[in-house]
Every structure is written in C-alpha cells, then in structure tokens.
Structure 1
Amino acid sequence: MPISKDSVRIGALTEGRSKVSRRFTIISSCSDLWGGSEELWSAAACALAENGHSVSCFKTGVDTNHPSVRRLKSFNCTVRNLRRRNRGPVLIKYAHVLPLALHLLTRRPDLVLISQGDNYDGLYLGYLCQKLGIPYTLICQKASDYLWPEDKLRSYKSAVFEGAVKCFFVSEHNRRLTEDQYGITLKNAQVVRNPYMVRTAQPLPWPVNDDDNLKLACVARLYLLDKGQDMLLRVLARNKWKERKLHVSFFGQGVNRQSLESLAGKLGIQNISFEGQTSEVISIWRDHHALILPSRAEGMPLSLVESMMCGRPGIVTNVGGTAEIVEDRVTGFLAAPVEDSLDAVLEEMWARRHDLREMGRRAATRIRELVSPNPAQDFANMLLKIVGELAEAKTRRHVVGHITASDPSPVRVSPDAEI
C-alpha cells in the first residue's frame, strides 16, 4: 500500500522525538529520610537531567545535606518537600495534595513517576493524576504477604494500578502478589532492577581472619516488621551458636536499633556487633564471608545483589524476589521466614562453610547475568520511550482529528488497492 501524505506528516512530527526536552515530575512516597527504594528514581532522574530533560522531584522530609539530594541538585533537578514526616490527623496528613495538584496543573509534565516503598503507599497520588488527566507510572518496591488492602479500598486502588501507563515492580514475586491482592491481571506490568552501590568487575579477594572466625554481615534497615533481625537474634541465642567461631555484624540504621540491642543483651549474645550505617559497601565484603538476611518481607534486596556482586553468597529467607536470583545450595541458601528454618539453614551453611568461597564465585557470575551494569540508565530509557510513545499517540489523534474535521466524508478503499 503506498505511503500516504498523512503518514509522512505524522512521521515528520514525531521524528527526532528523543531530541525533545521532556518534562518529568517524580514523587517519592517513602516516609524515611532516605532508603534503598529511593535509589532507582533518583539515579534515573540524574540520568534524565544529564541528557537535557527537565525533572522536578518531591520527597517526604527532604534533607538538603543528604548526598543523594545534593547530587540531584547538581544535575539541576528541583527537589521539594512533599510533606513533613509526621503522623498527624488526616486533614494535616493530606494537606500536601493541594500544592502538589497546583504544581501538576501548572507544569503539565509529560509523565509523572510515583515511587512507592511498598505497593500501596503512593496510590492516592496516582488517583490525583487520574483526576487531573496526567499520565503516570508506578514503582512498587515491595509487596508484603501480610499486608492486604481493605475491601472498601480495593476498587479504587486497583483502578489506579490499571490506569497507570506502566506499573514497575522489582521482582516477579511482588508483581504476582500485587495481582493476587487486587484480583487483577496487570497487562501494563514490567519488572525492573534497582541500581547497586558497588562497582567491581570481579569478586573481591576472600577474607582471611587471624582468629579463623566465620563472619556474616546482616545489611538491612533496622526495622523488625520487614527485616526480621529479631528472628536471627533468637536463633543466635541457642547454645550451639554461642559456642562456635561465628560473628554477625549488623549494618544499617532504623527505628528498632535500641530494641535489637536490648534483645541481644537479654539473650546474652556476645558474638554480634552493631556497626551502624555505611556508604562503603565494598568495605563490608572485604571483611565478611557471607550475607545473612532474615527478612519477613522484601522487594529485591540491594544488599543481596551487592554481596553477590562482591562474590559473597547470601543466606536469606525466601521472601520477595530472593529466590529469583539465589539458587538454593548453589549460589546461597534459602530459608523460610521462621526461626527453626533459619536455624536449619544456618546449620547446613556451617557444615559447608568451606564451600562458601566457591558458592560466592558462582553467585558473582550469576548476578552479572541477571542484572545489567547500569539499571538506572536502562530505567531512564524506558521512561523516555513511554513519553515518546505518548507523544506519538497524541500526534496521531490530532492529525486524524484534523483530517476528519476538514473532510467528514467516509474514507473509501478501492477493492483493487494493495494492502
């Protein structure tokens, strides 16, 4: 079939769309000062801004001195406070919606990206975009088996998922669980990877300790509801673990540090330490043999990806996407998120502790097959593709509408036309 003039016109209008400066608004619903769930959107924002696109960011409780916030501003991204970090009455809690709505109406971004720490905490922002007629995408960084939506909210929340241009999940588990929780199949769903904080082309040298201790690192936010460090402490309180040459270092900060320290004291555990927060991830794995992660809920834990990148196997619970990157007893160990299962898996790890180095080598190879070198740039490219497709669809609607208005007669195709 010959190419029509209208097709040429559409092509001319959409040609070079990647060179057009696009407008993005990114909203993070995470209530922490900063967390692992913030890394994907912030790194993608920097990648977009570096390539000439306009990016406005909204974040709860913005800390202007945080390195990631400073980096965003260095790329000329605007970073605004979404709301204060409080748990006030509903009228105060949602007072930030009006100024946000005014921003969206004034700016009219090409795309809004809503980054959620879970799979529900930013859905009201998607609802706002729906009402304003602005295209939006969702990131779901976690889904919990123990947190299901109330029946009275399922209809509106599922409509927000289905109304998104794309719903991004960090693991297949989280996608499936979200679909189960809302009784829907998301045709607009896609799994993406989070950026990681280590840059090493090969596994790190294996640690050699003078005291011959096996050193495990638990790298996670100190938040027991999700991360389950209390389960690990109760396992370590069993006599056999107190008597073995095993040390567990807890890295991270959070609202339950004092609770964990108090519990460790109550249980009489001596072979642990609380190391606090560190941005030097590689330094952790220069000195530790494996990751231990007793989580109750996860998305795709960055600490697991990073430990595998460094050639350290993970001893992790089978929650979230952990089983999607860990092959049990080959590149790590998988346990159920209960104490007896965690203890049994640790016992098997102890019996095979001389195999950990080889398991770590296999883990390093496998994770490089599963995760690209630059997930943030990959994600930024996805967002640009979405905006380009939206612009092209809008152009086509405009051209078709213009043709229809100027020539309302029906289009007739000759029976001899080549199709």
Structure 2
Amino acid sequence: MNQCLFGTEVFMRVLTVMSGVIISATGAWCLAYYRSAFSSIAFILAIAMTLSGVFLIGAYLVSGKKRLPETILIEGMLTLIFGFVTLNNEVTDTAMAMFFGAWLTATGLIRFTQSLAVSRFDPRNWAKILPLSILSSIFGFIMMMHTLVSAINQLTLVGSALILNGLSQLVYAMYMVRHENLPHTEQVRERVEAKQAAAEAKRKERDELRQLTRSERDIRKRELRDAAAAQAEDKKRLARIEKQKLKEAREALLDPTIQLTEMEMAEIADAIQEDSAAIPAVEADDAMPEQIPAQEVLQAPETPKEPTAFVREEADVQPETPEMSWETLIKEPAWQTPAFPHKPDITEILEREVKKPEPLPFTPLSLEELIEQEKANPAQRLGQKKEEEDQRFTEEFSWHWPPKED
C-alpha cells in the first residue's frame, strides 16, 4: 500500500514536471523565432498548451483519495480552454498580448493560492513558490495594458509569459503535497461516524421491536432496561473503586511514617543483634579494675559503721531490658498500631447519626389556647391585661393603702 501511494505521488509530480517543461520549451522556441508571424507558430503554441492542460488534469486525477488542491484541476482546465481557442486561430495579432496576459495573470493567482495550500503542510518551503507566482501575476497584468506593451514585440512577450508559467510549475512540482486530514478533521470525522453508527443501531433496534408482538416487545424493553441499569451500576462501582484507590494513595502520601521493605527490616534486625552482642563485652571490660601494685595501695582507716539492724538493705534491682531481635521487632505498619493517633475521616464524620431536636412541649390543649388568644379581640386583650396590672398593683400595696379602720 505504501509503495502504491509512493508511486502515485511520483507519477503526479512527473506529470506536473512534464507540463512545466513543455510550456517552458515552447516559450524558449517563441523567443528564438520572435521575427516570425503569429499564425505560423500558433499551432505549436496550441498543442503545447493543450498537452500542459491534459497533464495537469491527469496529475489531479491520479493523486488518489488524498487529492491535490482543486486549483490544479482549475489551472489544467483553463490552460486547455486557452489552447483550444489558440488552435482554432481565434487570436489576432493585435489581441495576442492581452490574450496570453489574461492567461498568465489567472495562472499566477492560482499558483499563489496553491502556495498557501502548501503552507498548511510544509511551513518551511511554501514561500519558495511565492516569488514566481507574484511575478507571473504582475507581468500578465502589464501585458493586458495595450498602451504599455504596444511598442514591444508580441512574440517576445508571449515567450516570456510561457517561460514564467513553466518555471512556476516546475517549482510547484518540487513542493506540491496532497491534502491530508488534520487532527481536528479526523476527530470531527470520528464523531460523525460514531453518531451515524449510534443512529443506525437505534433504527435497527426500533425495527426489531416493531416486528415483535406486544408481550415480546415488553419483555425486550424490560431486558434492555435491566441491561442499562446493570451498565449504570457497573459504572458506579468502577467509580467507587477509583475513588477508593485515590483516597488510599492520598493517605499514603500524607502518612508521616516511613514505609520499610522486608529487606530493610531484616537489615535493621541484624544490626540490632550485632549491637546487643557487642554491648556485654564492653561492659565486662569496663567492670575489670586495673591491677595496682601492692606497695602503692594505701589502706584507708576503717570507720565504725552505725548499727542498721532495723533497716534491711536491699540490692538495687534494675529492670531487665528485653533483647531486640527479629522476633521482638514489630512487623506491622506503624499506622496499624494502637499508639498511632487515629484521625476520623470526613466520610465517617458525615455518616454519624445526627441527633434530631426534641419536639416542643406543646399539648393540644395549650395549642388551642394559643390559637384562641391570637384570635381574640385586641380590645378585649388590652382590657384583660389592664385588669391583671390592677390586680397586681393592689396585691403589692395593700399593706399600707387603703388604711385600715380601727
């Protein structure tokens, strides 16, 4: 497949190069016979332009699925039409410069658009096509101005136009590329194909349901509903598993303890055993007193000891320190030991039972009384309040007023 594509690309380049060579050679031939009449060389010009148009159209057709820009096809058809007009002797000597100037201007503008198309795929070399395309457009525009070119030999102008167009085709053949789908274009195509496949599947499913009876259709719908529910449950389960994994990974990162492998723990146990074996030997060496010569030893006078019959001397008993070994080494992680502080997780806090507030101590009777008080007349409530105030005042000051009669 790759060899086929490579051969196709080479073949379309060869056709474009042949078109450019034919046009350039014809232009050089016109410059060589610039003193001849146009009618004597019109047939050669027409054949050359016709072959150039055919080769350009062929290059577009053989470019395969990833075709060349459509401007190649337009240029080939335009050159073919101008060749047929020239072949029928429809071009006069006075309109010859304007005729070929219009053709050169159109092909120069087409070459400019082709260079922009190349820039999307080859941003380094696309600018090499611009100079000749711009020069061709300007030269063709000048050829269409009869007052500017009337004093110049017409065949010289035609030959120069053909050479410019041929060289422009040769440069474009070196950097021409076929259109390839860009990444965003591929993504859009994949999305469209996925939507089309989903719509087709729904249509087929709907057609199958229409062919079934009502009971079979209900059973089928129930199966589809159960399958969708199971799929949704699987998605939820996978989401919970992923969430649990992320939580464990986060806890492992936030854990202040050091994770030790079995090899590291074994090395630590061996080092502890070596230290415990070396400590008693050092203690024994320290416990041996230095031998002092007898003549140098001075006997200190003995001091009488106080009677300590009522005090019992006890030897200082030091608690034995357990020997560190692999058997006594804690093999479980530090965060699983009882001494490790346990911090409640946010999920445990949220799952705790929330105490509901106790209901207000309202009985139906007191509630009815409150409702009646709210519905009572404001004037009646004001009078009742005044009576209560008068009664309270009378009770407070009845000890001195009114005065008692003897």
Largest Rg, 1 or 2: 2
Which structure: greater strand fraction? 1
**TM class, shorter-length:** under 0.3
